[in-house]
Structure 1
């Protein structure tokens, strides 16, 4: 079968290629650039704990050494500290890392990957679809054509793939603008990120309203100043003045020594593609959505797109057409991103609307700071990982279903499990391999060798039920899981979202849940191919 064609060699496209390779699916990455990334310390990304773990699992590299896990977070308003948080094992910090460092790590992991070919200096020019596959034409010094099973546009906000499929990309332009500087200096909070609203040393209007400081390794900081609406030019002189003023204000004296490393202007747009699938063509990352106001993390969502799509494409590639499963990518991911955009758009008038509301509603300033903190730290309605509660893959009417602390469709908690070879691993370490995970909660098993309990009690019956599932699955055992009673059986998707929790061994329920997770029974190739061809020509608006 032909490889998957991935258009775009940014973090999302490279992540998708690696995720497919881990599931034995070949891909071709069309990179319109030279195959390397310009170092830009003013262009950084914040990854929530589970997406940082995804990156480390795929690259095999300890990205925490290349990025920075903050020791804490503080929110300030004028001279007052509104909120302080210290991160620990129970409340892990996000990972702050320069984007070029992340992309370089992905490229290094791909360098020795036999299933991935990166075609540099290859700019997409045309896409053709038919029942059996897709053809991509490229232009430039190495212009040629590529044959693929599917094509995924990870080619950014100006996506050529999206335009060629005539998919609309409505939304709002320049929702927020920030002046950005990366510099090396010493601040009173060496390991903490901070959000400072209405700093007391500037009273000259809305441009003074908000400053964010986020540390990187080697004493480097990224500072962002919220700019007033409009397109006023940010001159080098203005930016240097803000740097000096901010550093002096934070240290309480003259401007400390600093080394200015990089600068830029970050403009946030809010847009959402009408469709994320057109036949055999898909969109992911910035090609499908733009968000980022109020501290929300755009790349983080793009990486979740790749994680969601990879196992579905791998299932279709290995086991034949699963059209409902492929359709669920758009249904699940678009709903999550749309909810995030709605939450940010609803909060913007409150948080950027001036002092009028604060004068009327007691305590609203503190509530606003908490809302902004949620966006920056990946919590609450603005930032928490999305759950696929209304997914078409959710099984219905399971008699043995029981509640646990993780609702169906939400990411599972990363507990320690015993693998089939008897080793102790984290649950997240078994994700991304294309297999479903079946986790038995069995208190006390951790203190006994696996050979003593693998053939006892309900294990043989559960092992037989797992073997009979309609998709490859791995049986794991955990001593405990939040909210789960003994002998609860969890079914987990390859991307780490909970399908269901069952009370004990229920082969019929487990089989039905696994089949629903795949979108129902696989259709015959001719029938699915006809549907795919119809979708490709039905219009993409």
Structure 2
């Protein structure tokens, strides 16, 4: 028995389900294969960056995620103390600061087991075929398709899946990267940790102040409260000293929780304890033929900075629209080359920032950590990612820095489009709310709109246009639109479906339609295609 689908996703964790949801948003069919029987029960990811929340907002999931939140990244501080009873508490700011100057949304806390269920439901509503309790057995690819054999773990029934493309989202311990012959480089395994989930009656406050997490220096561990009293203790251990995961039985875990609390006699009932390696790797390439790596399958980074899981969300966001357009013949297959060209350099820079924070926050007895780079602001890493080559028209030599300062984002091609509060038919929204499915052209001259309409209607180009001013559908306060995006009167900016700037015309141009055709062609969009089923 064989099944044909556009995209096969191996791995039904956070990043695989995000990819499925984004493909569903594009109207693109996919199948997700996951060996576990259900979504995660471990608190492997919780802090959703505001950039990731922008992506989930695009899917219409922001309110549901906030309604089901499992903490408050902004309501509690980050503490450092010998233990929770230590009177000498050192406080840092919240895990994520206020993002309203840069984004229409704020960060959120939603533990992975809750977020995965939300994404799974959204993807399934959009037509995704999600197969839990299913093994991926083998893979072959030819120039036109990918052939994979999957097996239901309960019935043993095998099935051959034929897909146009495959996304490897099988995580740090997956096998697909090696099967595809892709090596990886980096500092390697840095530290060994146990994630201990336990039920407790401890207070989520220290000295009357709520805390998001506390670094416990007595243990070289972090303790994180959760609503309902099911907390997480992340405890470092040292195999070179003879310590093993099997040592962390019920009694040992209870003792560790009591040490973290700074007192005995507390409720500390073990729910789950699992080992994991804090590692730093980046795959040599994120693509092999028709197969693409995302998330931990492509890169591993320490959780310091909360960049790891969020980077996987951004991988999926970068890739999904490109796959959808190529499968629909709206773009040339060469567009897919831009995934590796764009994401891999950004990931390398993000990993360096995570490692620098690890050096700053935790002890490194084995001395495995590389020299640290200068730390930049968290929101520069989150919002200021810059693609220097790929599906874009660069304007000049790239600045000599890894990230753009978020406060200076101004429409440079290869950067995320700036957030600007605008009005449409009396309703306030963000410019970012205009992006998500097709290319979007922003302008203040109706001639751009007319050209975009002709290309959309006659040539099937997935392109929408919004015009500022009295002749258009948008208003910006105090005429801020041109300066916010770095253009003058008559200029225009082309935004990709993932909200990154592809190209801009700083001023008015002649031959507008021909210029748009030239730009779209260089990016990889096919002009002259029409998918009647979609339009």
Q: Counterpart in 2 of 1:123?
A: 135
- For 1:12-62, what per-residue CA distance to the aligned partner results, in whole angstroms no more than 9, with x for missing partners? 12221221121122112223344x22533x434321012123234436352
Q: TM-score scaled by structure 2?
A: 0.75
- For 1:283-338, what per-residue CA distance to the aligned partner results, in whole angstroms no more than 9, with x for missing partners? 11121111125344322111111100001111111225523320010111111111
User: Per-residue deviation at 1:193?
Assistant: 1.7
Residues 242 and 426 of structure 1: is their aligned pair in 2 closer, same or farther, counting only changes over 3 Å? same
2:100·2:106 contact (CA, 8 Å) conserved in 1? no
In structure 1, C-alpha distance between the alignment counterparts of 2:422 and 2:390, rounded to whole Å: 29
Q: Give the secondary-structure state (helix, strand or coil) at the position aligned to 2:109.
A: strand
Q: TM-score scaled by structure 1?
A: 0.74
In structure 2, C-alpha distance between the alignment counterparts of 1:518 and 1:45, rounded to whole Å: 40
In structure 1, C-alpha distance between the alignment counterparts of 2:223 and 2:520, rounded to whole Å: 42
User: Per-residue deviation at 1:429?
Assistant: 3.2
| 1:108 maps to 2:108 | no
2:223·2:260 contact (CA, 8 Å) conserved in 1? no
- For 1:434-460, what per-residue CA distance to the aligned partner results, in whole angstroms no more than 9, with x for missing partners? x112234xxxxxxxxxxxxxxxxx542
User: Per-residue deviation at 1:2?
Assistant: 4.8
Q: Counterpart in 2 of 1:452?
A: none
| 1:439 maps to 2:451 | no
2:342·2:389 contact (CA, 8 Å) conserved in 1? yes
| 1:267 maps to 2:269 | no
Q: Counterpart in 1 of 2:451?
A: 465
Q: Counterpart in 2 of 1:327?
A: 337
- For 1:77-133, what per-residue CA distance to the aligned partner results, in whole angstroms no more than 9, with x for missing partners? 66252533484463776322221111111222233323x222444422232322332
| 1:18 maps to 2:27 | no
In structure 1, C-alpha distance between the alignment counterparts of 2:523 and 2:225, rounded to whole Å: 47
In structure 1, C-alpha distance between the alignment counterparts of 2:364 and 2:151, rounded to whole Å: 50
Q: Structure 1: any 5+ residue segments left out of the alignment? A: 203-207, 356-367, 441-457, 525-541
Q: For this pair of structures, how many residues does the alignment match?
A: 468
User: Per-residue deviation at 1:416?
Assistant: 3.3
Q: CA RMSD in A?
A: 3.7
Matches within 5 A, 1:384-533: 384-385=382-383, 387-396=385-394, 405-418=410-423, 424-433=428-437, 435-440=438-443, 458-468=444-454, 471-476=461-466, 477-479=474-476, 480=480, 483-484=484-485, 487=489, 489-506=492-509, 516=519, 519-521=522-524
Matches within 5 A, 1:163-312: 163-182=178-197, 183-184=199-200, 185-189=202-206, 191-196=210-215, 198=217, 202=218, 208-209=219-220, 211-228=221-238, 230=240, 232-233=243-244, 234-236=247-249, 237-248=251-262, 261-312=271-322
Q: Structure 2: any 5+ residue segments left out of the alignment? A: 83-87, 366-371, 397-407, 467-473, 528-535
Residues 17 and 295 of structure 1: is their aligned pair in 2 closer, same or farther, counting only changes over 3 Å? same
Q: Counterpart in 2 of 1:66?
A: 68
2:334·2:524 contact (CA, 8 Å) conserved in 1? no
Residues 385 and 177 of structure 1: is their aligned pair in 2 closer, same or farther, counting only changes over 3 Å? farther
Residues 130 and 69 of structure 1: is their aligned pair in 2 closer, same or farther, counting only changes over 3 Å? same
Q: Give the secondary-structure state (helix, strand or coil) at the position aligned to 1:306.
A: helix
Of 3, 10, 16, which residue of structure 2 is paired with 1:7? 10
Q: Give the secondary-structure state (helix, strand or coil) at the position aligned to 1:330.
A: helix
Residues 344 and 424 of structure 1: is their aligned pair in 2 closer, same or farther, counting only changes over 3 Å? closer
Q: Give the secondary-structure state (helix, strand or coil) at the position aligned to 2:110.
A: strand
Q: Counterpart in 2 of 1:52?
A: 53
In structure 1, C-alpha distance between the alignment counterparts of 2:452 and 2:134, rounded to whole Å: 44
User: Per-residue deviation at 1:227?
Assistant: 3.8
- For 1:359-416, what per-residue CA distance to the aligned partner results, in whole angstroms no more than 9, with x for missing partners? xxxxxxxxx9x96x96xxx445xx5345233123331459xxxx96354322233333
In structure 1, C-alpha distance between the alignment counterparts of 2:520 and 2:226, rounded to whole Å: 40
User: Per-residue deviation at 1:490?
Assistant: 3.0
| 1:153 maps to 2:153 | no
1:4·1:28 contact (CA, 8 Å) conserved in 2? yes
User: Per-residue deviation at 1:63?
Assistant: 0.5
Residues 218 and 515 of structure 1: is their aligned pair in 2 closer, same or farther, counting only changes over 3 Å? farther
Q: Counterpart in 2 of 1:99?
A: 112
1:191·1:215 contact (CA, 8 Å) conserved in 2? no
User: Per-residue deviation at 1:484?
Assistant: 4.6
Q: Give the secondary-structure state (helix, strand or coil) at the position aligned to 1:387.
A: coil
Residues 492 and 195 of structure 1: is their aligned pair in 2 closer, same or farther, counting only changes over 3 Å? farther
